[in-house]
Amino acid sequence: MAIPLPRTEQPVNLLGLTRGRLAEWLGAQGEKPFRATQLVKWIHQFGLDDFERMTNLPLVLRRRLAAEAVIAAPEIASAQRSADGTVKWLMRLADGNCVETVFIPEAGRNTLCISSQVGCALDCTFCATARQGFNRNLTAAEIVGQVWRANQALGAVHRDDRLITNVVFMGMGEPLANFDNVVAALELLVDDNAYGLSKRRVTVSTSGLVPALDRLRGAADVALAVSLHAPDDALRDELVPINRKYPIAELLAACRRYVDARHHKARITFEYVMLDGVNDSPRQARALARLLAPLPAKVNLIPFNPFPGTGYRCSPPAAIDRFRDVLQRHGLVTVTRRTRGDDIAAACGQLAGRVHDRRRRREVRS
């Protein structure tokens, strides 16, 4: 179901409107559809929030926009830079909540890890975000606004100069629990008139909301990452509680449907956090290999990143290497993710932000 257009009693935040939705909003005011393309370029390619500077728009339209609309992104409350070049921004939302966004520079690519919710309701036991509780979904403007603000902070003024080559929905929250807003943000990220990212360079990570994953295959054609973390239901029930509702067999069947529906066949990335003495034995590696054998799969082994109050430890490097070797011998493409930004708590599983009213919870619907 499409997100209803914003009511015009309050200024409309254009930052989260896709080109189609923006054309619909402008059309209701008697404007031609091509004005939406012009606006999208000014907002997302050039990073402008001042309508007066959008010089190819008629003066009367610029004045109407200034009176009825805004371009408002989350504000950067603080920034931390890791010794390895990773940057973590604490982004303050209009209601005072904060989410975290991470920029990871690498040879040949620069990845931005963005958040989709304030906190998270899924309670994965190895994740710091789960400890924060859940407050609310981010709007489409707050999601894509993290990219908009990061480009600004990195000094980019035009798409051709932008440093961000990849965007991953691996920050705070479960993206598929905020389906409509995430899909709107995805549309802007791959729109050639907005950010123009390749569909293969935009990744949605999910813990396994099966009905929403089935909806996603008809709504977006982007890369998929699945937080698996266990080779059997008994252990995954403990580590990723949503598995009790959507067990592994159902999740992998949905993954197969997603791959089969894509225009360009690609591997699904399965994320597997390495927990000492919990899920890192050679026996479990063999079970994981058998589980994933029917799928076009790639496995990312993620060394566990500790956070205050956790009872888990990271698997020793030798155990991670043994696990990787077993998977590779069974024909699975397997890499061990290099830990980035752990000295500023920016690594996978460490993002926490600032969540107001942490007791507020809701049932996760898909």
Q: How far apart are CA 270 and CA 285, in angstroms?
A: 13
Mind giving me the DSSP string for 81-112?
A: E-TTS-EEEEEEPTTS-EEEEEEEEETTEEEE
* Helix (H), strand (E) at residue 166: strand 166-169
- Given the residues 31, 98, 100, 120, the one annotated as active site: 100
**CA dist., res. 106 & res. 100, Å (int):** 20
- Chain-centroid distance, C-alpha 204: 5
DSSP state for residue 240 in the 8-state scheme? S
Is 166 within 8 Å of 197 (Cβ atoms)? Answer: yes
* Residue 100 bears catalytic tag: yes
DSSP string computed for 302-337: EE----TT----BPPHHHHHHHHHHHHHTT-EEEEP
Structural Rg of the chain based on CA atoms: 21
* Residue 348 designated active-site: yes
- Alpha helices per DSSP H over 240-310: 248-261, 282-292
Cα separation, 185 vs 155, in Å, equals: 22
Which of 98, 127, 255, 348 is the catalytic position? 348
Helices then strands, counting H and E runs in the chain, come out as 11, 14
Question: What amino acid positions are annotated as catalytic residues?
Answer: 100, 348
